[in-house]
Structure 1
Amino acid sequence: MALQTTTKASLLLGRCVPCLKQNASKFKVKKLELDTNLLMYFGKEEYIYAFDPQKLCKTGDIVLIEELPKKMTRLITHAVKKVVYPLGDITDPMSGKKVVAGKYRDYIEAVNKVYGEKRGAFKYDEAPPRGWQEGKRDFTHRETYIKYHESGEEDPYAV
């Protein structure tokens, strides 16, 4: 019995990483591989390129990608179906509640109500959506490139 690899699956869940290709995004997909000596599964990462002409996903997003019926190029074998979780906005799939560092936001608000809110605490309800700092502090929309040598200059767009 042959094990199915991630390239054979029709739908995959992956994290977007910086990519240099136009009309495509690069995704890190985690798969489990069986070690026959220990009879245990260990996580391995595989990188997959997906067709994304609208640039739906940014670096750090969790995205659902779908296998194309026919390869577009040698590398591009999948297409972006939908952004499941934007970076920094995690939702528990079972309850549908927002999560912050392993705790529900409702729980954090209830604790703050009982003990009092800290001065300067972050207010999730009043926070603007991701992307409002594009061009000021958020440069994920910028084109990146591979840095081949150290020139001594600070370049924020090099990978």
Structure 2
Amino acid sequence: MKLDDKFDMFFNQRIDYKAFDKREQTKVGDIVLLKRRPILECRYPLERYEISETVYELGRIKDPLTGRRCNGLRYLDESFIANDRENQLNRPSSASIPIKSTE
């Protein structure tokens, strides 16, 4: 957070780090734990950190209290999603529904 003197408010400040990935398994958007590298091991001047472990992969976030997967503010109940997809596939199309006359 950075203090803005004009508005006298704190604002989030984004910082991008360049890091070395030994295993080459992470993707952009993953939440990782960084570790500072010794200066002699750095290939490039800006590559001062290395990824020590992947905390959360992109799209695989779990709520720490319930342990359920979530997307933003809603939970992803995988069984509900699978049942919903199956129901969508088994729905009859509108052309096969017979129309009854009211005469």
- Fold shared by both chains (TM-score > 0.5): yes
Q: How many Å apart are 1:101 and its aligned residue? A: 4.1
- Residues 69 and 39 of structure 1: CA distance in aligned 2, closer, same or farther (over 3 Å): farther
Which structure dedicates a bigger proportion of its chain to helix? 2
Structure 2 regions of 5+ residues with no counterpart?
90-103
> Highest Rg: 1 or 2?
2
State the TM-score, normalizing by the size of structure 1.
Answer: 0.43
Q: Which residue of 1 aligns with 2:16?
A: 47
The structure 1 residue matched to 2:88, chosen from 111, 116, 120, is 120
Q: How many Å apart are 1:55 and its aligned residue? A: 0.4
Which structure dedicates a bigger proportion of its chain to strand? 1
The structure 1 residue matched to 2:46, chosen from 64, 72, 75, is 75
Opposite residue 64 of structure 2, the aligned amino acid is: P
Look up the SS of the partner of 2:2 in the other structure: strand
Taking the aligned partners of 1:95 and 1:43, their CA distance within structure 2 comes to 28
Of all paired residues, the percent bearing the same amino acid is 30
1:100 partnered with 2:71: yes
Taking the aligned partners of 2:63 and 2:24, their CA distance within structure 1 comes to 25
Matches within 5 A, 1:4-19: none
C-alpha RMSD over aligned residues: 2.9
TM-superposition CA deviations, 1:35-90 (whole Å, max 9, x none): 12323111222221111121020122222212224361311111101111112111
Q: Which residue of 1 aligns with 2:32?
A: 63
Look up the SS of the partner of 1:54 in the other structure: coil
- Residues 117 and 47 of structure 1: CA distance in aligned 2, closer, same or farther (over 3 Å): closer
Q: How many Å apart are 1:96 and its aligned residue? A: 2.3
- Residues 35 and 120 of structure 1: CA distance in aligned 2, closer, same or farther (over 3 Å): same
State the TM-score, normalizing by the size of structure 2.
Answer: 0.62
Structure 1 regions of 5+ residues with no counterpart?
1-31, 122-159
Taking the aligned partners of 2:70 and 2:25, their CA distance within structure 1 comes to 23
Q: Which residue of 2 aligns with 1:154?
A: none
